[in-house]
Chains A and B, each alone.
Chain A
Amino acid sequence: MAAAARPGPEELALLEKLLGLPKGNKYGVQGERKVPVLQTNNGPGLTGLITIAAHLVKQAKKDQLLGSTAEEKAVVQQWLEYRVTQVDGCSSKEDTRIILKNLNIHLEDKVYLAGNIFTLADVLMYYGLHHVMVDLTVQEKEKYLNVSRWFNHIQHYPGVRQHLSNVIFIKNRLYTNAH
């Protein structure tokens, strides 16, 4: 069975490693949706995947991963939100199809989710979609060609994939008449 990053603590551990942070953060989960919680020594801790992830990025002093301009920052925020509301909230194959379709449209003219820069949105979307992409058929991967291209790119981005299984994408197109 392919290793998958479950949303929450496991994913945050992957992110820590990617950011080069020392281990040692403790995570819990909260509520029915198992929302991750970062315990801190001072104060009530942080709750929520995006919140903690953004906190870790700042801790690692890699703020550029959150975008540099106001516009980039808002776009990153938007896709992070899309990840936790739509991708994590999807409960049927139909939902998944819609998400892949939307992303495919969005990525038509972009290298990364936020355009030309690699951001936290790419990382978390990659972790969030990994279990989906693993199960796609060759035909589906080809149908969502832009998503596949982006996903393949991100999984080869240094340090992102880690122990997650490598999703194979075939170079040539098999179903050209499907377009």
Chain B
Amino acid sequence: MRLRVAAGGPAALKVLAAAGAAAAPVRLVWGGPLGETAAAAAPLPGRDPLVPAPVIPTPRRGPPGLTGLLPPAEQPLAPLSPPWTPALELDSGTVLFSPNAICQFFFLARGEEPTDLTNQWLEWEATELQPAASAALYAQLVHGRKGLEAVEVLGKLLVHIELNLSRRGTAYLAGDTKSVADVVVWGTLFPVLQDETSLPSELQVLRTWFQSMTLSEACRKAADSVLMPKALLEFKSYLQKQPPPCLAMERATSNEPEEEEGSEPALTEEEITAAVDAWARGVAALPKPWQPQKPVLPVEGMRNVLITSALPYVNNVPHLGNIIGCVLSADTFARYCRLRNWNTLYVCGTDEYGTATETKAVEEGLTPQEICNKYNAIHTDIYRWFDISFDYFGRTTTPYQTMIAQDIFQRLLARGFLLQDTVEQLQCEDCQRFLADRFVEGTCPFCSYEEARGDQCDKCGKLINAVELKNPQCKLCRGVPVVKPTQHLFLDLPKLEEQLEPWLEQSWATGDWTANARYITRSWIRDGLKPRCITRDLKWGTPVPLDGFRDKVFYVWFDAPIGYLSITANYTDQWERWWKNPQQVELYNFMAKDNVPFHSVIFPCSLLGADDNYTLVNHLIATEYLNYEDGKFSKSRGVGVFGDMAKDTGIPADIWRFYLLYLRPEGQDSAFSWSDLMLKNNSELLNNLGNFINRAGMFVCKFFGGTVPDMVLTPDDKRLLARVTLELHQYHQLLEKVRIRDALRCILSISRHGNQYIQVNEPWKRIKGDEKDRQRAGTVTGVAVNMASMLAVMLQPYMPSVSLAIQGQLCIPPDCFVLSHNFTCTLPPGHRVGTVSPLFQKLEHDQIEALRKRFGGGQAKQTPPASVTLMAPGDPELIQELTEEVAKQGNHVRQLKANKAEKAQVDTEVAKLLELKKQLALAEGKSPEVLVPKGKRKK
């Protein structure tokens, strides 16, 4: 067996001492901890090197860093251990990474079995002494504390050892002879206590024991070989890069907010009192809902929020990924803003100019305008069905678009931000036209994807200059185009960069930009800005108002974002109060990440250069991508759900909204899955949220004749109010940062609290009890129905129809439809509720499976999650019996295998097991083939 240790690593001490004390025949391998660069160059294959495993003074919660103490070639010895930790590789190949287990092994190997007492010391050492010793060592090495001050945190623990030794009257911790316990405890103490002054003088017995241990041959040798001054210095410099070790009792004071659902933060008295006060104030605690004038215009003294979602390209029917990426995310946020009484305008529209429309028109034999009219109607229908609350949904093919785009162009021209240059462009001689953008296809010069478009590669996402395409082809006639020179205009981005950078800095400092938006923008600027062509040889677009260019139009990237302004202008002639008013207006842009550069660099540069006090984006909210099942949405392959098909599924729009928002690709890509949709609907909506709201309402109807009963709050109820208030605050915090998906969890969390509250208090039983019980039933029902009332408001941005249904069922007054930071009693005693009925329907497996088949995706052939949906048709007792027998036989087989029994015997027993499993499957009404153990499935 090989023992790897690092000189300077304090945990090495105990394992070496134990090896010596137990005379273990180990081969020692010394490894110096690697520098960070070397470590990074040789990561453990497929392993996570950042593992705070049990270890002596290495801080347990240390950040990722060094991979290990082993030379790169021999690294993957102790995959679970951080640097500076010893590892023992046994001849069988097993690796022990816990220093205590290694020590234990040495003593076991020579026949010394653990006793209750040695176990107790080892456990105490691992859970109590180690963390404290780490802190003490850190204080000494990093903070330079000396003497008693340094071992302060060890005080009680040293006394513990002193008392145990003196009470038992033995020379060693677990008896009269040295055991693994002594070595382990000494090994942890020695690095901290080697400075004699650190040991409190009154602990006489401890001092004697410690000295005798230190003098023993094994320990002395270990100390000499490990704690060399140079090695200690290395260890010190390692420690200095780590955060200080955190002791359990100190954790409570950590000022890092724990935002985990699992750990419920403790409630303070103040929080409880405040929650009770707010509750008692009732509707008076809420602001009056504010209805803006139509058209919505900025109001002095109010928070004026302007929201846009990226303009969908007109002739693409949006799929679920497009919907969650832009319009649905923006809609949820806009609804939230309105509920906060912020003066909000949400605009969007179809982006209609450009080559793609022209191509499509040719394909369908229509004029471009006819194509736009047709598809604009499709978009409008889809978004109406998804209940997207645009204040205005417009389009870019309007006179305002021409006017505003040309104005911005003229201002850029006048200020010298436009350049003129000759461009080599592809011309198809057969079609007699220049081929821009999507009229040409070929091989991507970056990734060699063969179907790259003229402006962008669908595979690597890089922007392409059409002439750079390899093997270009005219998309219309498939002829080979030739390169011809033509004059074009360019936006001088390098010149605008000096204005762009300070603006970006300021916007990032004050606004909420998602991490991907910042990252993409940064890398764009880092790669260097180049002049960018803003004209194209097309007909379908905004004409360029300059002699020599009159037969050209603006390139869609220049033109399309101006659509936000022109669409607003079509909504109100006072559009400039939104778009030339950065002092009063906060602008949020929603989009998927592929759209970031146009909103963060190019469009701001146009507006900065045009210099007309434009409102520039304050908050750029970009999502990652949503995948479909195990691949991408693909219109051509018929894979995925597209906006116009969603309503044909029979699943209500609000369920779609919920599920899409639940998996909103915030921070990372996510994937739509039919099975998961069913699961989330049936668990979160039906069993959690719907169940709670329905029960709360039903109790009022059934037990109290539809009138909210009197409530007498107990301390438990008050804590619940505070708990719900905390969730509500969290909800606001998240939504203010546009973390839409995370905020949805708060809603579900409140209803979970509600379900537990009802479950624990059992109002359906208490209602049949004495006066006191009946009063309790009333209080619980009253609190629950008020929680339901608040949930209805919190849910409104996510599921507007469901919210409206709850409002109708519980007769929530319209004045309560506003969000504050208080959970108040909005349905006071005496309030009459209406007719309560279930809000959600169960999604059945067959229905989902049929939809999955219909919309494609790679999962169709697989088996459904049987445990969730299949109702076993068989006899439950038989199933129970067979299940137990299968488990029993399974264990029997494993036992045989573990004991290396004869193959023939194992085979017989395995055959029995398979037969039992088959019977079980039949009893459960399943097809037996599905019972292949999943662990054995080949990847």
Contacts and interface: CB of A to CB of B under 8 A. Distances in A.
Give the residue among A32, A74, A82 with the most B Cβ atoms within 10 A.
Answer: A74
B867 A75 contact: no
Contacts of A106: 80
A98 interface: yes
A176 B630 contact: yes
Interface residues of A, number: 65
A177 interface: yes
A93 interface: yes
Interface of B: 47-48, 50-54, 60-61, 79-80, 90, 92, 94, 96-98, 100-102, 104-105, 108-109, 114, 116, 119-120, 122-124, 126-127, 130, 167, 248-249, 251, 258, 260-263, 627, 630-631, 671, 673, 675-676, 679, 756, 759, 858-859, 862-868, 884, 887-888, 891, 894, 897-898, 930, 934-935, 939
Contact of A116 (B52, B54, B98, B897): B897
A131 B99 CA distance: 28
Interface of A: 1, 32-33, 35, 44, 46-51, 54-55, 70-71, 73-75, 77-78, 81-82, 84-86, 88-89, 91-93, 95-96, 98, 101-102, 105-106, 111, 115-118, 131-132, 135, 138-139, 145-146, 149, 156-158, 168-179
Given A138-B676, A177-B671, A77 B104 contact: yes
B48 A92 contact: no
Give the residue among B47, B48, B863 with the most A Cβ atoms within 10 A.
Answer: B48
Contacts of A49: 123
B48 A102 contact: yes
Nearest to B167: A44
Given A149-B935, A171-B930, A81 B100 contact: yes
* The 7 residue pairs across chains A and B that have the minimum distance between CB atoms: A78-B101, A74-B105, A70-B108, A48-B123, A170-B865, A78-B98, A51-B120
Contacts of A95: 52, 61
Given A51-B116, A81-B101, A105-B80, 5 more contacts: A47-B120, A78-B96, A81-B122, A101-B48, A177-B630
Nearest to B164: A44
Nearest to B107: A70
Contact of A93 (B119, B262, B858): B262
B126 A85 contact: yes
A32 B248 contact: yes
A177 B630 CA distance: 5
B890 to A, nearest CB: 8
29 contacts: A32-B248, A32-B249, A33-B248, A35-B127, A44-B167, A46-B120, A48-B124, A51-B116, A73-B108, A75-B101, A77-B98, A77-B122, A78-B101, A84-B123, A84-B127, A85-B54, A85-B130, A86-B54, A89-B127, A92-B258, A92-B263, A158-B887, A158-B888, A158-B891, A169-B867, A170-B865, A171-B865, A171-B934, A174-B673
Contacts of B864: 172
Given A106-B80, A135-B261, A172-B863, A86 B98 contact: no
A91 B251 contact: yes
A73 B104 contact: yes
A59 to B, nearest CB: 10
A86 B52 contact: yes
Contacts of B627: 177
A107 to B, nearest CB: 9
A158 B79 CA distance: 32
Contacts of B96: 74-75, 78
A105 B759 contact: no
